[in-house]
Amino acid sequence: MIIPENIINELINQAQQEAPNETCGYLLGITTPDGDIVTENYWMENIDHSPEHFSFAPKDQFAALKHARSKSLKILANWHSHPASPSRPSQEDLRLANDPTIRYAILSLHEGVHLNSFKILNGEVVDKEVHL
């Protein structure tokens, strides 16, 4: 999955603004012969307002799906920030990652800025890509 630099910068800004709490959203985009390309970050409210957990606001999730459909975009990934821990899924992240068709991206602000994305199947990481 390709995440253009301007979108990575948007994710960093969003994560920094909401730190110390986690922030979250969807990465929307298109599938091309060269792979999936992210074209949009869709912010969603973290209704947990927590530094260690996140839950999408259901109304935002619904609006995101509607928005994606109207622009013929796919939900390529679910993303959230880890303000104070590394860019890898927590036990809870693994447990809650129930869609093996999308990627799970984690932007970490811990010891520099890092962005990795994962495919997760049955609670285990089966693929990892490093984006930053």
User: Which residues of the shown chain bind Zn ion in the complex (CB under 5 A)?
Assistant: 90, 93
Nearer to Zn ion, 37 or 94 (CB): 94
Q: Per DSSP, what are the bridge partners of residue 30?
A: 37
Q: Shortest Cβ contact with Zn ion: which residue?
A: 93
Nearer to Zn ion, 60 or 93 (CB): 93
Amino acid of residue 36? D
Query: For residues 84 and 98, what is the distance between their CA atoms, to the nearest angstrom?
Result: 24
Report the nearest approach of Zn ion to the CB of residue 68 (Å). 23
Report the nearest approach of Zn ion to the CB of residue 93 (Å). 4
Nearer to Zn ion, 30 or 94 (CB): 94
Go through 56-80 and write b for each residue having 16 or more CB atoms within 10 A of its CB, e for each that does not. Answer: beeebbeebeeebeeeebbbbbbbb
